[in-house]
């Protein structure tokens, strides 16, 4: 029987909203927001959308009116009672009351601040300005909206059965990956694919397929809404935006050199155990580790997010040994452009030498490569980054010069301060 | 919203019925039933299930109780008012009132007669006895029930996402066939896959995918229920059971030799146009055509259902030429074990020389080959045939000795009467 009430209710929607909840975001955004809320609440920042795949003419594909409608809808969202209860009452990484009452009160009152949207050529300029804790919450929904509107633009030309077969193919493709991964002994994989997912429903499907297909080898998802709805672990620690903004705020080269460690000192006070994961590549992994204080070597692990991942892990292993730590007890989270082959290879190489773990992103939740003519649904490299803090430009170097960002003179200054020499350029997959 | 009423209503089902309508059957069964109803209504016949793929232990896979429940459910079915209206009011092959009032009245009162079911080793013996018009209506539902119970037996071991991916793979597989076929100029394809389908829902999906994917190249389905529900042409003419029973009833070798032509003489009186399709292979195509009366050469076309299909078509072309007919105006319907490669090959070979057409069966509606471990869902060769008429055994020779059936001495007699010599054995695919 048709549920007439549902059908009639659905008439009322003016749009089909892409982001329907403030916790349809990465768990680490909330952890970082709490840290920022506590330590730097009034910092004025600008976040900006950057399409690193300029061959995708987003402004040609996506109607500006539709984009505005979706962004406007996000501005109407607020934390629901059930979402708040979940954040307040849940155990995250074995800890109760991860989110403190003052932060929760702030979050319950949060509405996302205005955005600035302008078409420039065949791309959009989309920026967000204001207090750091508010502005930072735009990153994930903004990316998810752009990614999904691009998907919809391609899908709207397709017939009903053509669509069903498209998803059938995508499901088959993912399931073949799952079938490969479940044969890999003791592998640990989390979903990190919210930001560049094909769509919300597709991410939700992928996560559930991982639950059934991988069992305990699937350790959770970075997406809070999906973690809540599917009763899974929410996964995540911290990201580049913390050192990037701290660095931009530094008054001198000395303060700049200290900024990345200051971030982790603040983090150290707040978190323990599996939340103490070093993200060392913002201004070059090797220099960061060489100059790191000893207490950092006691942290639980490291996340490798750029450069050659095996090389990054070897650097970390050598560093832990040099600091008298036992690498076999350390967690190494690989999270850069992963797909099955790379996961299998890295697990084989590092199992037993460290505790490897995988944050699988875009090629989990958006691998539509080869499924449409001219590869019109292939994922692409879209990011939303802090570009300014208190009027000063931010800089990211990373271990791959193609992921670097910031004004040329500032990049040169950072390279000098952090002692970054020659770097090997690597293709940015997604 | 959950439709509570639907959910509660579904609690009441003791089984999930496989066959839910008396017109969930092949269109030609109804055409033949009408012919039999008119010409031989009181003939006592026995139909029997024959599993030609003895490697599939049906009685091991399928619970006897479940099988009985499904067969019992079929015996509760009667023609609904809407089904009757569709049969009475529709245009079939351009003709109104294809089914005459006396036949419709009989059909409206029909309930299927009892069945006899016995387990013998790892197979079932399933037979139906009684008046020909009633018993013949068991063929298609009996096959569909056995095929789908076998599918269910395999599927019940699978997880939810594993199941979804299985169907995703099957959809992808079918769609790739559709994508190949839609590039074939002027090809004409019908669904002939009811009897050995994976399941009803799957056949229904396949038909709808063909509608969207092939457009006018898809000419209809042999399944009356799907034709009705999806507003498609119902397709079909006549089958081996007519000459087999007529032949069994023959009192002498002379009458036996005449029996196949008597069938078509009766048919000739009743039908015209595209319904005048010769099925020549019951007792060998070559002999049948050599000895055929001239009026048969005037028929619209021929159906090739065993032997080498290209050779069968060439024999028909030569025969038409010898009888002064223009083969380019004749329809040749290929219907034996077709899959895409064979369709493409035959279309290329015969387009322009005749009007080729394809009755695509099991590898349309049940191609799950290679989709499960040990190929546990691969289709197999199950038939339900008239084995006796008025206590006398029936015989089928066909153009492939592996499809022959009947007692040895009778097979020998038929071969002599119909002048069938050496035959080339060909693998029976499905």
Q: Is the dihedral of CA A62, A63, A67, A73 positive or negative?
A: negative
CA-nearest of A207, A192, A209 to A143 is A192
- Give the pair of three-digit tokens for residue A226: 């999906």
Asked if residues A178 and A209 have their Cβ atoms less than 8 Å apart, the reply is yes
Kindly state whether residue A425 falls inside one of the protein's structural domains: no
Residue B176 confidence (pLDDT): 96
Percentage above 70 pLDDT, chain B:
100
- Give helix then strand counts, H and E, for chain A: 19, 13
Instruction: Give yes or no for a contact between B227 and B220, defined as CB atoms under 8 angstroms apart.
Output: yes
Residue A243: what pLDDT? 97
Q: Which residues in chain A have Cβ-Cβ distances shorter than 8 Å to B175?
A: 161-162, 165, 168
pLDDT band, very low/low/confident/very high, at B5 (cuts 50, 70, 90): confident
Pair (B203, B128) in one structural domain: no
Whether residue A232 lies inside any domain: the answer is: yes
Residue with the bigger pLDDT between B13 and B222: it is B222
A157 CB near a chain B CB, below 8 Å? no
Residues of chain A contacting B160 with CB distance shorter than 8 Å: 212
Residues A221-260 pLDDT 10s:
999 999 999 999 999 999 999 999 999 999 999 999 999 9
Query: Among all residues of chain A, which has the CA nearest to that of B6?
Result: A1
- How high is the pLDDT of residue A9? 78
Same domain, A241 and A346: yes
Residue B427 has pLDDT above 90, yes or no: no
In this structure, the answer to whether residues A305 and A176 fall within a common structural domain is yes
Closest-CA residue of chain B to A207? B161
User: What confidence score (pLDDT) does residue B7 get?
Assistant: 79
Asked if residue B275 and residue B343 are part of one domain, the reply reads yes
Asked, for residue A122, whether it belongs to a domain, the answer is yes
CA distance A38 to A104: 12
Measured between beta carbons, the chain A residues lying within 8 angstroms of B212 are 159-162
What is the pLDDT, as a whole number, of residue A13?
80
CB contact under 8 A, A168 and B160: no
In this predicted structure, the answer to whether residue A22 has a pLDDT above a threshold of 90 is yes
Mean pLDDT value across residues B13-23: 93
B37-70 confidence digits (pLDDT tens): 999 999 999 999 999 999 999 999 999 999 999 9
Q: Would you say residue A126 lies in a domain? A: yes
Residues B276-301 pLDDT 10s: 999 999 999 999 999 999 999 999 99
Measured between CA atoms, the residue of chain A closest to residue B1 is A6
Q: Per-residue pLDDT averaged across A276-300, rounded?
A: 96
CA nearest to B159 within chain A: A212
pLDDT grade for A8, boundaries at 50, 70 and 90: confident
pLDDT confidence band for A3 (50 / 70 / 90) = confident
CA-based nearest residue in chain B for residue A212? B161
Using pLDDT thresholds of 50, 70 and 90, give the confidence band for residue A313: very high
Question: Which of A2, A159, A164 is facing B171, going by the closest CB pair?
Answer: A164
pLDDT at A90: 92
Tell me: pLDDT of B399 over 90: yes
Quick check: A182 contacting B, CB < 8 Å? no
Residue B430 has pLDDT above 80, yes or no: no
Q: What is the DSSP letter of A179?
A: H
Is B94 in the same domain as B176?
A: no
Going by pLDDT thresholds of 50, 70 and 90, the confidence category of residue B153 is very high
In terms of CA atoms, which chain A residue is nearest residue B207? Answer: A161
Between A423 and A42, the more confident residue is A42
Do B349 and B200 fall within a single domain? yes
A166 in contact with chain B, both atoms CB, cutoff 8 A: no
The predicted structure's pLDDT at residue B6: 79
Q: What is the pLDDT of residues A366-381, one digit of tens each?
A: 999 999 999 999 999 9
CA distance B166 to chain A (A): 8
On whether both B139 and B178 belong to a single domain, the answer is no
pLDDT of residue B220: 98
Per-residue pLDDT of B196-239, as tens digits, reads 999 999 999 999 999 999 999 999 999 999 999 999 999 999 99
Number of domains in chain B: 2
Based on the fold, state whether residues A361 and A400 are members of the same structural domain: no
| Most A CBs within 10 Å, among B7, B164, B209, B230, to test the A interface | B164
- For residue B3, what pLDDT is reported? 77
The pLDDT, as a whole number, for residue A21 is 98
Q: pLDDT for A264-281, tens place per residue?
A: 999 999 998 889 999 999
Q: HEC string of A244-274?
A: HHHHHHCCCHHHHHHHHHHHHHHHHHHCCHH
B167, pLDDT greater than 80: yes
CATH, residue A253 = 3.20.140.10
Q: ipTM of this complex > 0.85?
A: no
Query: What range does the domain containing A39 cover?
Result: 13-156+378-406
pLDDT at B109: 98
Q: Tell me, yes or no, whether B263 lies in a domain.
A: yes
Whether pLDDT at B12 is above 80: no
Residue A114 per-residue DSSP state = P
Answer whether A213 sits within 8 Å of B162, measured CB to CB.
Answer: yes
Same domain, A59 and A99: yes
Does the pLDDT value for residue A129 go beyond 80?
Answer: yes
CB contact set of B21 (below 8 Å; sequence gap of 6+): B77, B80, B83, B225
pLDDT on residue A420: 92
Q: How far is A211 from chain B (nearest CA, A)?
A: 9
pLDDT at A127 over 90: yes
With CB atoms and an 8 Å threshold, state whether A175 touches B167.
no
Residue of A nearest to B179 (CA): A162
Number of Cα atoms under 13 Å in the Cβ half of residue A346? 30
Question: Does any CB of chain B come closer than 8 Å to the CB of residue A173?
Answer: no
Q: Looking at the domain assignment, is residue B57 inside a domain?
A: yes
A201 touches chain B (CB under 8 A): no
- pLDDT of residue A175 exceeding 80, the answer is yes
Share the mean pLDDT of chain A: 95
Q: What is the pLDDT of residues B289-336, one digit of tens each?
A: 999 999 999 999 999 999 999 999 999 999 999 999 999 999 999 999
Q: Is the pLDDT of residue A14 over 90?
A: no
Number of A/B CB contacts below 8 angstroms equals 54
- How much is the pLDDT for A328? 98
Domain-embedded: residue A258: yes
User: With an 8 Å Cβ cutoff, are A213 and B6 in contact?
Assistant: no
B165 to A172: CB separation less than 8 angstroms, yes or no: yes
> Is the residue at A236 inside a domain?
yes
- Give contacts of A 2-21 with B, CB under 8 A: 2-3, 5-6
Q: Which of A5, A208, A213 sits opposite B1 (nearest CB)?
A: A5
Q: Quote the pLDDT of residue B315.
A: 97
What HEC string does chain B produce? CCCHHHHHHHHCCCCCCCCCCCCCCEHHHHHHHHHHHHHCCCCEEEEEEEECCCCCCHHHHCCHHHHHHHHHHHHHCCCCHHHHHHHHHCEECCEECCCCHHHHHHHHHCCCCCEEEEEECCEEEEEEEEEHHHHHHHHHHHHHHHHHHHHHHHHCCCCHHHHHHHHHHHHHHHHHHHHHHCCCCCCCEEECCCCCCCCHHHHHHHHHHHHHHHHHHEEEECEHHHHHHHCCCECCCCCCHHHHHHHHHCCCHHHHHHHHHHHHHHHHHHCCHHHCEECCCCCCHHHHHHCCCHHHHCCCEEEECCCCHHHHHHHHHHHHHHCCCCHHHCEEEECCCCCHHHHHHHHHHHECCEEEEEEECHHHHCCCCCCCHHHCCCCCCEEEEEEEECCEECCECCCCHHHCECCHHHHHHHHHHCCCCCCCCCCCCC
| Residues B96 and B166 placed together within one structural domain of the fold | no
Give residue A422's pLDDT. 87
Q: How far apart, in whole angstroms, are the C-alpha atoms of residue B61 and residue B152?
A: 9
State how far residue A60 is from chain B, nearest Cα, in angstroms. 29
Interchain contact, B6 vs A6, CB within 8 Å? no
Query: In this predicted structure, what is the pLDDT of residue B1?
Result: 74
Do residues A358 and A384 both lie within one domain? no
Question: Where is pLDDT greater, at A9 or A288?
Answer: A288
To probe the interface with A, which of B165, B166, B179, B214 has the most A CB atoms within 10 Å?
B165
In this structure, the answer to whether residues A147 and A210 fall within a common structural domain is: no
């Amino acid at each position: 029987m048709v549920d007439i009430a549902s059908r009639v209710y659905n008439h009322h929607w003016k749009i089909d909203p892409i982001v329907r909840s403030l916790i349809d975001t990465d768990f680490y955004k909330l952890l970082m927001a709490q840290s920022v809320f506590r330590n730097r609440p009034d910092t004025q920042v600008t976040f900006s959308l950057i399409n690193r795949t300029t061959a995708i003419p987003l402004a040609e594909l996506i109607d500006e009116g539709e984009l505005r409608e979706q962004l406007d809808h996000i501005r109407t969202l607020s934390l629901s009672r059930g979402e708040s209860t979940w954040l307040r009452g849940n155990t995250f990484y074995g800890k109760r009351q991860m989110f403190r009452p003052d932060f929760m009160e702030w979050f319950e009152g949060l509405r996302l601040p205005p955005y600035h949207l302008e078409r420039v050529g065949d791309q959009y300029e989309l920026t967000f300005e204001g207090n750091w804790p508010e502005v930072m919450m735009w990153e994930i929904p903004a990316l998810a909206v752009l990614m999904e509107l691009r998907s919809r633009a391609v899908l709207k030309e397709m017939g009903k059965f053509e669509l069903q077969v498209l998803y059938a193919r995508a499901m088959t493709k993912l399931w073949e990956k799952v079938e490969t991964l479940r044969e890999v002994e003791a592998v640990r994989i989390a979903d990190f694919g919210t930001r560049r997912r094909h769509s919300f429903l597709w991410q939700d499907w992928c996560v559930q397929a991982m639950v059934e297909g991988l069992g305990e080898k699937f350790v959770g998802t970075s997406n809070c809404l999906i973690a809540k709805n599917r009763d899974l672990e929410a996964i995540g620690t911290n990201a580049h935006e913390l050192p990037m903004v701290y660095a931009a705020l530094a008054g001198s080269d000395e303060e700049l050199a200290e900024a990345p460690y200051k971030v982790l000192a603040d983090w150290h006070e707040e978190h323990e155990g599996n939340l103490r994961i070093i993200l060392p590549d913002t201004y070059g992994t090797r220099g960061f580790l060489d100059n790191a204080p000893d207490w950092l070597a006691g942290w639980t692990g490291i996340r490798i997010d750029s450069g050659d991942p095996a090389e990054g892990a070897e650097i970390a292993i050598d560093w832990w040994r040099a600091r008298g730590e036992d690498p076999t007890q350390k967690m190494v989270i690989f999270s850069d452009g992963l797909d099955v082959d790379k996961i299998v290879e890295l697990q084989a190489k590092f199992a037993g030498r460290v505790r490897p773990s995988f944050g699988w992103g875009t090629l989990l939740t958006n691998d539509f490569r080869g499924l449409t003519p001219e590869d019109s649904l292939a994922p692409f490299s879209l990011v939303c980054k802090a570009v300014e803090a208190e009027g000063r430009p931010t800089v990211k170097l990373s271990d791959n010069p193609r992921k670097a960002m910031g004004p040329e003179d500032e990049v040169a200054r950072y390279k000098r301060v952090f002692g970054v020499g020659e770097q090997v350029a690597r293709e940015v997959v997604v």
